Every structure is written in C-alpha cells, then in structure tokens.
Amino acid sequence: MKIGEKVQWNELLTGGVIEDPGNSIDYKTGSWRIERPIWNKEACINCMFCWVYCPDSSIKVDKDGNMAGINYDFCKGCGICVKECPKPGALAMVLEADIEKKGMDVVFKETFGGK
C-alpha cells in the first residue's frame, strides 16, 4: 500500500494487514528533537551501551558491531545515550538551535575541545 496517497476502502487488505514490515522508517521522528547528541569518535570505546539503551534504534553500527554514528532521521533527542555513556567526552547533548546558529564544527569544538 502506498502511504501518503488517497487510498479507497476497497484497496485495503482484510483485517487492516500491513504487508510492508518495518515501514515506519518512512516516518522520520528526528523533527521532534530539541537537543541533539553528538559523538566524538576519538574518545568512544565501542561499549555499545548507547546502542542497547537507544529507544529509537538510532545508533548506527558498522560491520564489526562498533559504533558508527547517530541516525538523526529518527533520534528524538531523549539523551539516554549521553546519560548512560561510561566514557567522558564520547557523547554530549547540544542544543539544535546552537548548531543552527554557530554551525556543527564550532559546537563540536566547544563541546569536546581540541580538534
């Protein structure tokens, strides 16, 4: 079934069956965010606590099962990953408004210092 188009009742499947598993990825919840977690690759120890606690499956994983960034399409900015991160300086919460105003590079430098 095509989402977003007008669908007639007789085009729906019996019992309201959805044929397309996991199609909620078409609905981006990232727009809910007020604060954003940012990730410092240099400090990360790949413990994956952020991944196990992320309610929105928004921690990207590479082929070795290591942390590969944050999916801002879906991250709602709850901050659990930052709170549960055991390594200081690996994850931090910053305001979306600050990123808009100053740019990502400046905010990153301000938060983690150095490079």
Partner 1 sequence: MAFLNDLAKRGERFAPGHRLCPGCGQSIIVRALLNITDYEIVIANATGCLEVCSGLFPYTSWCVPWIHSAFENAASTIAGAEAMYRVWKRKGRTDKDIKFVALASDGGTYDIGLQALSGAMERWHDFLYLCIDNQAYENTGVQRSSASPFGANTTTTPVGKVKRGKEQRRKDIMSIVEGHHIPYAAQASLHNWRDLMNKIKRALDTKGPTYINVLQPCCTGWGFPPDMTVEVARIAVETCAWPIYEVVDGKVKINYKPKKKLPVEEWFKMQRRFAHMLKPENKDLLGRAQELVDEHWEWLLKREAAGL
The site for partner 1 (CB under 8 A) is made up of 1, 3, 7, 16, 18, 20-29, 32-33, 46-49, 51-59, 61-66, 71, 73-74, 76-80, 82-84, 93
Q: Which two tokens stand for residue 17?
A: 């069956």
SS3 for 36?
Answer: strand
Residue 52, judged by CB atoms within 10 A of its CB (0-12, 13-18, 19+), counts as: exposed
Taking the C-alpha atoms of residue 10 and residue 55, their distance in angstroms, rounded to an integer, is 36
Q: Nearest distance from residue 85's CB to partner 1, in Å?
A: 11
Q: Nearest distance from residue 60's CB to partner 1, in Å?
A: 10
Name the residue nearer to partner 1 (CB basis): 71 or 111. Answer: 71
Name the residue nearer to partner 1 (CB basis): 60 or 101. Answer: 60
Q: Nearest distance from residue 7's CB to partner 1, in Å?
A: 8
Name the residue nearer to partner 1 (CB basis): 21 or 114. Answer: 21
Name the residue nearer to partner 1 (CB basis): 21 or 113. Answer: 21
* Contact (Cβ atoms closer than 8 angstroms) between residue 87 and residue 31: no
Q: Nearest distance from residue 105's CB to partner 1, in Å?
A: 25
Query: Is the Cα torsion angle 32, 28, 47, 108 positive or negative in sign?
Result: negative
Taking the C-alpha atoms of residue 77 and residue 80, their distance in angstroms, rounded to an integer, is 8
